[in-house]
Amino acid sequence: MHKLIEPTAQGEGPASPRPRPPAIEPGRDALFLDLDGTLAAIRPHPGDVGPEARRTELLRRLAERLSGRLAVVTGRSLEEADRILDGACGPLAAVHGLVVRGPDGQLDTPEASAAVAQARQALTDFAEERDGLLIEDKGVSVGLHFRGAPDLQGEAERLGHALAERHGLVAQPGDMVFELRQPGADKGSAVRRLMALELFEGYRPIFVGDDLTDEDGFAAAQDLGGHAVLVGAREPSGADYGLSDVEAVFAWLEEAVA
């Protein structure tokens, strides 16, 4: 999901109530990273986030250090994730796990359903009649952003829940956004699918994320013998460890490739 809070310099963000995660062990670990709020600074508009040389180089070095056992797991579309990551990450789960790309580049993606199209039209009609709303179309999901019109949050969420029930879609509330997506996957199922592949099998998964949608990824990593790292001070969370902000994530990851 897309939030407005800008990352702060390391040590300036809210203190995490959890201990800092231990160092990554390249011969033992597989790493799963959320994108927005974890690897990328949060911006007012989703399209404002773009490639950054530091991030691109770090991901390429991490992938080499981990022998390819690095995946980004995001709510973004695959195309948007690749644009922001500048092609630095091969294995990738997009749209909250609905779209999964393996290490060999093979893509597993469902056909966009008529239900999503119907919900998209209803949300678009709603947004066109009001100022400050933004529709984000990901094909197999659609999001309604209301950060520009916070007074419409209640009305937007009521509409979203009604459409989810009417069309059999998954309601995915976020920070000033409400998303409707096809059922059948989440970030946890994406972690499990990737961990079942030969490249990842038998390694310890570490999932790093900041948003409520990352809790499924946290639980999957823990169930598979790994651990979870929460970025920020959001509560409640099932994460074992914590990092204060995006800059703290970068610092921790850079220690693994130093």
Sign of the torsion formed by the C-alpha atoms of 244, 249, 254 and 255: positive
pLDDT (average), residues 11-16: 53
51 C-beta neighbours (distance < 10 Å), count: 14
Nearest to 13 by CA among 189, 206, 231: 231
What is the reported pTM?
A: 0.85
> Is 137 among the residues known to form the active site?
no
- In this structure, what are the phi and psi dihedrals at residue 108, rounded to the nearest 5 degrees? -115, 110
List the catalytic residue out of 29, 34, 210, 240.
Answer: 34
Position 14 confidence tier, pLDDT thresholds 50, 70, 90? low
Q: Quick one: average pLDDT of 221-247?
A: 96
224 pLDDT higher than 60:
yes
Q: What is the mean pLDDT of residues 13-39?
A: 90
CA neighbours closer than 13 Å in the CB half-sphere of residue 59 = 26
| pLDDT value at 13 more than 70 | no
Half-sphere exposure of 140 (CA within 13 A, CB side): 21
What's the token pair of residue 123? Answer: 């949300």
| % residues pLDDT > 70 (the chain) | 93
